[in-house]
Amino acid sequence: MKRIALLGSTGSIGTQALEVVSAHPGLFEVEVLSAHSNAALLIEQAKKYKPNAVVITDESKYREVKDALMMHPVKVFAGPSSLTEVVQWESVDMVLGAILGFAGLKSIIAAISAGKRIALANKETLVVAGEMVMKLARERGVPVLPVDSEHSAIFQCLVGEDLRTIEKVILTASGGPFLGRKPNYLVNVKSSHALQHPIWSMGAKISIDSATLMNKGLEMIEAKWLFGLENEQIDVTIHAQSIIHSMVQFTDGSMKAQMGLPDMKLPIQYALAFPQRLTNTFKRVDFKDYPKLTFEAPDYKTFRNLAIAKDAMYRGGNAPCVLNAANEMVVDAFLHNKVGFLEMSDMIEKTLEKVPFVAQPTLPDFERTDAEARTYAAEFIKKSQLSIY
Ligand code: NDP
Ligand code: MG
Residue pair 53/77 in contact by the 8 Å Cβ criterion: yes
Is the entire prediction scored with pTM above 0.85?
Answer: yes
d(CA 185, CA 342): 10
96: number of CA atoms within 13 Å, CB side? 37
Ligand nearest the Cα atom of residue 99: 1
Ligand 2 centroid vs 322 CA: distance in angstroms? 21
For residue 389, pLDDT over 70 is answered with no
Report the residue among 6, 7, 9, 13 best suited for mutation to probe ligand 1: largest number of ligand atoms under 8 A from its CB: 13
d(CA 125, CA 363): 12
Closest ligand 1 atom, residue 125 Cα: 32
Ligand 2 centroid vs 151 CA: distance in angstroms? 7
Judgement on whether residues 118 and 155 belong to the same structural domain of the protein: no
DSSP 87-155: TT-TT--EEEE---GGGGHHHHHHHHHTT-EEEE--HHHHHHHHHHHHHHHHHHT--EEE-SHHHHHHH
Residue pair 120/126 in contact by the 8 Å Cβ criterion: yes
Name the band, by pLDDT with cuts 50, 70 and 90, for residue 64: very high
Ligand 1 centroid vs 8 CA: distance in angstroms? 6
pLDDT digits (tens, 9 = 90+) for 299-326: 999 999 999 999 999 999 999 999 999 9
Q: In terms of DSSP H, where are the helices of 237-283?
A: 265-273
- The per-type count for the chain, helices as H runs and strands as E runs, is 17, 11
Lining ligand 1 with CB less than 6 A are 8-14, 35-38, 57, 98-100, 103, 121-124, 148, 200, 202-203, 205-206, 264
Which amino acid, 81? S
Cis bond before residue 361 (omega within 30° of 0):
no
Judgement on whether residues 152 and 300 belong to the same structural domain of the protein: yes
Stretch 149-174: mean pLDDT, rounded? 98
Judgement on whether residues 40 and 101 belong to the same structural domain of the protein: yes
Judgement on whether residues 299 and 167 belong to the same structural domain of the protein: yes
Name the band, by pLDDT with cuts 50, 70 and 90, for residue 200: confident
Judgement on whether residues 24 and 136 belong to the same structural domain of the protein: yes
Name the band, by pLDDT with cuts 50, 70 and 90, for residue 387: low
110: number of CA atoms within 13 Å, CB side? 20
For residue 150, pLDDT over 60 is answered with yes
pLDDT confidence of residue 197: 84
Judgement on whether residues 246 and 174 belong to the same structural domain of the protein: yes
Stretch 137-162: mean pLDDT, rounded? 98
Report the residue among 61, 82, 99 best suited for mutation to probe ligand 1: largest number of ligand atoms under 8 A from its CB: 99
Q: CATH number of the domain that 352 lies in? A: 1.10.1740.10
Ligand 1 centroid vs 99 CA: distance in angstroms? 4
Closest ligand 1 atom, residue 121 Cα: 30
Judgement on whether residues 215 and 345 belong to the same structural domain of the protein: no
Which residues, listed in sequence order, are joined to residue 256 by a DSSP beta bridge?
248
Judgement on whether residues 259 and 350 belong to the same structural domain of the protein: no
Q: CATH number of the domain that 85 lies in? A: 3.40.50.720
Nearest CA to ligand 1 atom 22: 36
* Residue range of the domain that includes 231: 148-314
pLDDT confidence of residue 388: 52
d(CA 78, CA 60): 9
Last residue in a domain, options 283, 314, 345: 314
d(CA 215, CA 199): 14
